[in-house]
Structure 1
Amino acid sequence: MARPLRIQFENAYYHVTCRGNSGQEIFSNDVDRLAFLELLERSHDIYQTEILAYVLMSNHIHLFVKTPLGNLQEFMRHFNISYTSYYNWKHARRGHLYQGRYKAFLVDADQYLQEVSRYIHLNPIRVKNRSPMNLGEKEAYLREYRWSSYGGYLSRGGRRGFLEVGEVLAYFGGDNPGGRRKYESFVMEGISGKMSSPLEKGRGHGIIGASEFIEKIRGQYIRFGVGSREIPAVKKILAQVEPERIIREICEAFKVKREEVLEKGYKGVARGILMEMLYRYGGMKQREIGEWMGVDYSSVSVMRKRLFALQKKDRNLSVGIERVKKRIQPSQE
């Protein structure tokens, strides 16, 4: 059976699921769940995604992801490898943790943003062993469930730093007490009434959306991939910054010569900043950056992660990076 098509473009929305191999559990304890969320945050930071909702179950997970850079494949590859490596190390095991690749449904956010978020947040009570609970017990169970983003929608205090609730809550009046209460009522309606899964809309073609949205996607992207197993990333390039301009700005800001920052053995922080800016604003993939700078793509990923860690510790470095960003961002042209 052929793999489902991967459709990628800037600011796309996806419902993503990963299931344990042969139905096995992917979390042994709460330490694993915390590690999962920490690694999710790290991958989100590296690949500049937006996490709109999530839920962790015993043998599978659901994510609602927006990709401003059109890079779902890179994000999920990095994240799944990171958690699998952690889990295998922690529990002295080998082999695959997940059942094949992740599954991703492209979502028509104009029509199904609210529905998909509710579907994810209702997951903890949809498992079979929770069905005997009455309505009140189900409502209480959802509110108390630790491993979901639902608590972050009901209270700012229960929200993880990487969670983006603004887009969904905007449909209910915003991220304020009134908007949060309305969203809670919306989710509770899904408990009491018969609600079909929005995922059913995507069966067969992998797109959760109205017919107009599906035809638009088919016309713009799928027709270009006829005969291939997988569509490569489809990204806008008009707003990208010339790599040479990025180099000039970084060299000027950090007082380093061009040949130095491009030298493989250069140890200064400017090299990591260059890699980050080429990825974020130059439209280059990590493999392309590595080839240009004489290293493999994994080294580029490591350098970008180190830079992220350094920024948290060094305020002057963060200020310098922000200054470079303002100078090279396309909007400043």
Structure 2
Amino acid sequence: MVKKHTVWFPGAIYYVTCFGAWDESIFYEESDFLAYLSLVESVRYRYPFYLHSYCLIAKRIYLLLETTHIPMNDIITTLNDEYARYFQDKHTFVLPQASSTLIDSADKFLKASKFIHLAPLQEQIPLQNYRWSSYQAYISYTPNDHVVTSRILTFFKDPKMDQYSRFVEGEKIEVN
């Protein structure tokens, strides 16, 4: 659950992190990651939103999402509750806890996406081929139906994917 007094308005963008209680894992096997991504789509069907970036690692979920007409709290609470129901049927019950930050500038928007895409490095996982992240959709033509890349890529000059990759990996890149 996310704090009840989170500022919300249509079009608000949030950096959201979810994590297991007591730093427990919230993903143990491939089917857990797949179930979560399936639930993202199920919740998005009922509560439309744009997912700009994501990364799922064993103990954390990172999302960069933009609301349309449903408050972010409703989206994340529903997503976490549904994942908790799935999870408790397979593993020890862990209700993901969530926190969010309102993104109020283009600079913060880009930095949040970069941070999300660098998250696998915290676990010593190489970025290039990490399967549970939207990073591949940004740096290659690998399709990813979960994420919308166009808004972030508009900040970069051509070739946009190459520029974004260089930005994430630490090069000084001029953005629009």
TM over 0.5: yes
The structure with the larger Rg is 1
Counterpart of 2:63 in structure 1 is 63
Alignment partner of 1:33: what SS?
Answer: helix
- The answer to whether 1:152 aligns with 2:133 is no
- The answer to whether 1:106 aligns with 2:91 is no
Point out where structure 1 has 5 or more consecutive residues left out of the alignment: 131-137, 194-333
Cα displacement (A) at 1:111: 2.8
Q: Which is helix-richer, 1 or 2?
A: 1
Q: Which is strand-richer, 1 or 2?
A: 2
- Equivalences for residues 291-330 of structure 1 within 5 A: none
The structure whose RCO (Cα within 8 Å, separation 6+) is larger is: 2
Work out the CA distance in 1 between the residues paired with 2:35 and 2:86: 8
Counterpart of 2:155 in structure 1 is 171
Q: Percent identity?
A: 28
- Equivalences for residues 228-247 of structure 1 within 5 A: none
Contact 1:12 1:70 in 2 (8 A): no
Alignment partner of 2:155: what SS?
Answer: helix
- Equivalences for residues 267-278 of structure 1 within 5 A: none
Counterpart of 1:233 in structure 2 is none
Task: Please give the per-residue CA displacement for 1:205-227, whole angstroms capped at 9, x wherever unaligned.
Answer: xxxxxxxxxxxxxxxxxxxxxxx
Work out the CA distance in 2 between the residues paired with 1:30 and 1:116: 25
Equivalent position amino acid for 2:135 in 1: Y
- Equivalences for residues 28-67 of structure 1 within 5 A: 28-67=28-67
Counterpart of 2:117 in structure 1 is 121
Contact 2:55 2:134 in 1 (8 A): yes
Counterpart of 2:78 in structure 1 is 78
Counterpart of 2:11 in structure 1 is 11
Cα displacement (A) at 1:4: 7.2
Work out the CA distance in 1 between the residues paired with 2:156 and 2:24: 38
- Equivalences for residues 189-228 of structure 1 within 5 A: 189=170
Counterpart of 2:95 in structure 1 is 97
Work out the CA distance in 1 between the residues paired with 2:89 and 2:132: 22
Cα displacement (A) at 1:90: 2.5
Cα displacement (A) at 1:78: 1.1
- The answer to whether 1:185 aligns with 2:170 is no
- The answer to whether 1:161 aligns with 2:145 is yes
Q: Return the TM-score normalized by structure 2.
A: 0.89
Give the aligned length.
170
Cα displacement (A) at 1:44: 1.7
Task: Please give the per-residue CA displacement for 1:77-121, whole angstroms capped at 9, x wherever unaligned.
Answer: 111111110111123x44x432xx410100013332211100110
Alignment partner of 1:171: what SS?
Answer: coil
Alignment partner of 2:147: what SS?
Answer: coil
Point out where structure 2 has 5 or more consecutive residues left out of the alignment: none
Cα displacement (A) at 1:151: 0.6
Q: Which runs of 4+ in 1 moved over 4 A?
A: none
Work out the CA distance in 2 between the residues paired with 1:72 and 1:179: 29
Relative distance call for 1:122 and 1:180 in structure 2 (3 A) is same
Equivalent position amino acid for 2:30 in 1: D
Work out the CA distance in 2 between the residues paired with 1:74 and 1:16: 13
Task: Please give the per-residue CA displacement for 1:157-197, whole angstroms capped at 9, x wherever unaligned.
Answer: 2x3213110000001137xxx1101101111116xx9xxxx
Work out the CA distance in 1 between the residues paired with 2:157 and 2:42: 30
Work out the CA distance in 2 between the residues paired with 1:55 and 1:19: 12
